[in-house]
C-alpha cells in the first residue's frame, strides 16, 4: 500500500471525508512529504483540499501561526502532520469547538503510516477506549505501581477523554493512529515516584529507566540518563506539573520511539507533564511531554484495573 492509498483509507474510515468538504492538511518542513500525500489523497476523494506548510515548532504544545489556526477553524476536516504535537494547543481546541473534525499525527513516520497502530480494527479500539474512559470518569483516585515505586493523584470531578481514532462527527478530534483514554489529574495532588521505561516524547525510546519524584503535583527530582534533557524541555515553570494520565488501548501499536504510537500501546500507561487546559485541566505551560511506562499495575479508587499491563475485566 502506498502513502496515498493508506491516506485515502484513513480519510474515509477515520474522518469520513466527503467530496466537496473543505479539507486542510497542516504540515511542517520535516513532515512535508507525508503531508503532500495526505493532501493528494483528499484531492482524489473530491474534497476541496488545501495544504499549509509552516516552520517546525520548537516543542509539542506550541501554538501554530495565527493564519494556520484561523484556517483550521474554518475547515470541515483537518489533519495536522507535524514533528511536534498540535494536539494540546488552543488552535486545535478552538477548531474542534467550531465543528472541525480533526486528527493530529505528531512525528508520524512512513512506517507508522503503513503498519502497526494504523492497521488496528478501530471499531474494536473505539469500544475498549470508551469503556476505559468511563472508568476514569467514574474514579476519584489513581495509583500507579511499578518496580516498588508508587505515584498517586486525584482525578475527582474530572472527565476522561477518549481518543478512539474515529472522528466522524462535527467537533470530534484526537490522534491518528489512536487508541487511548486519558484524563487531567487534579493539579497539585500527585505524590510519589514513577519509573519510566518505554519512551519520552522528543527523546524517543529509552535504554535505561528514568525515575521521577513528584511532590505537590510537580517534578522535584529526575534521575537517569534522560533526566537532564527532559527537564530542559519542560523548563522550570509549570511544564514540570503533572498534566495527564493515559491508558493505551490499541493492540496493534508498537513501541517505536515515536510517542504518537508508543502511548497507544495496549499494556502501557503514560503520564505527561505540562499543559492540560485543552482537556479539562488548568495548566497552561506552552509544552506537553508524554512519558510511556510498560506493564505497570494501576488502581482506580484502590481497585486494581490493570495488572502487569493487562486490563482486568471490570
Q: Is the pLDDT of residue 1 over 90?
A: no
Q: What is the mean pLDDT of residues 284-302?
A: 97
pLDDT tens per residue, range 228-246: 999 999 999 999 999 999 9
First to last CA, the chain: 38
Instruction: Please check whether the domain covering 3-114 is classified as CATH 3.40.1120.10.
Output: no
Q: What is the mean pLDDT of residues 279-298?
A: 97
Per-residue model confidence (pLDDT) at position 314: 59
pLDDT tens per residue, range 161-187: 999 999 999 999 999 999 999 999 999
Per-residue model confidence (pLDDT) at position 236: 96
Per-residue model confidence (pLDDT) at position 118: 87
Q: What strand order describes the sheet that includes 173-175?
A: 48-54, 22-28, 77-81, 101-104, 173-175
Q: pTM of the entire structure?
A: 0.85
Q: What is the mean pLDDT of residues 70-91?
A: 96
pLDDT tens per residue, range 138-151: 999 999 999 999 99
- What are the residues whose beta carbons fall under 8 Å from the beta carbon of 67, sequence distance 6 or more? 52
Per-residue model confidence (pLDDT) at position 210: 98
Q: pLDDT category, 128, cuts 50, 70, 90?
A: very high
Per-residue model confidence (pLDDT) at position 195: 98
Hunting for cell 496515498 — which residue is that? 4
Q: pLDDT category, 290, cuts 50, 70, 90?
A: very high
pLDDT tens per residue, range 16-52: 999 999 999 999 999 999 999 999 999 999 999 999 9
Chain-wide mean pLDDT for the chain?
A: 96
Q: How far apart are CA 226 and CA 204, in angstroms?
A: 10
Alpha-carbon Rg for the chain in angstroms? 18
Per-residue model confidence (pLDDT) at position 115: 87
Query: Domains of the chain: which residue ranges?
Result: 3-114, 119-311
Q: Is the pLDDT of residue 113 over 90?
A: no
Amino acid at each position: 500500500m502506498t502513502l496515498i492509498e493508506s491516506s485515502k483509507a484513513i480519510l474515509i474510515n477515520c474522518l469520513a471525508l466527503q467530496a466537496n468538504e473543505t479539507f486542510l492538511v497542516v504540515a511542517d518542513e520535516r513532515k512535508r512529504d507525508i503531508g503532500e500525500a495526505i493532501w493528494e489523497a483528499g484531492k482524489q476523494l473530491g474534497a476541496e483540499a488545501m495544504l499549509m506548510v509552516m516552520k517546525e515548532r520548537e516543542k509539542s504544545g506550541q501554538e501554530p501561526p495565527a493564519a494556520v489556526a484561523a484556517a483550521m477553524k474554518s475547515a470541515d476536516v483537518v489533519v495536522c502532520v507535524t514533528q511536534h504535537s498540535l494536539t494540546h494547543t488552543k488552535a486545535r481546541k478552538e477548531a474542534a469547538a467550531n465543528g472541525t473534525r480533526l486528527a493530529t499525527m505528531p512525528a508520524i513516520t512512513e512506517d507508522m503510516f503503513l503498519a502497526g497502530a494504523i492497521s488496528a480494527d478501530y471499531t474494536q479500539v473505539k469500544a475498549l477506549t470508551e469503556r476505559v474512559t468511563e472508568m476514569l470518569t467514574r474514579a476519584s483516585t489513581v495509583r500507579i505501581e511499578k518496580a516498588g515505586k508508587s505515584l498517586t493523584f486525584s482525578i475527582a470531578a474530572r472527565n476522561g477523554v477518549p481518543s478512539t481514532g474515529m472522528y466522524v462527527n462535527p467537533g470530534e478530534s484526537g490522534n491518528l493512529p489512536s487508541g487511548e483514554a486519558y484524563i487531567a489529574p487534579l493539579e497539585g495532588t500527585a505524590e510519589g515516584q514513577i519509573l519510566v521505561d518505554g519512551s519520552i516524547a522528543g527523546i524517543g525510546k529509552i535504554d535505561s529507566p528514568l525515575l521521577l519524584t513528584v511532590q505537590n503535583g510537580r517534578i522535584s527530582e529526575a534521575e537517569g540518563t534522560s533526566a537532564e534533557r527532559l527537564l530542559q524541555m519542560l523548563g522550570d515553570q509549570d511544564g514540570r506539573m503533572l498534566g495527564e494520565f493515559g491508558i493505551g488501548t490499541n493492540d496493534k501499536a508498537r513501541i517505536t520511539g515515536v510517542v504518537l504510537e508508543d502511548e497507544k500501546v495496549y499494556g502501557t500507561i503514560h503520564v505527561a507533564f505540562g499543559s492540560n487546559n485543552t482537556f479539562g485541566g488548568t495548566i497552561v505551560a506552552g509544552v506537553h511531554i508524554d512519558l510511556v511506562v510498560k506493564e505497570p499495575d494501576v488502581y482506580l479508587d484502590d481497585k486494581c484495573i490493570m495488572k502487569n499491563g493487562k486490563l482486568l475485566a471490570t
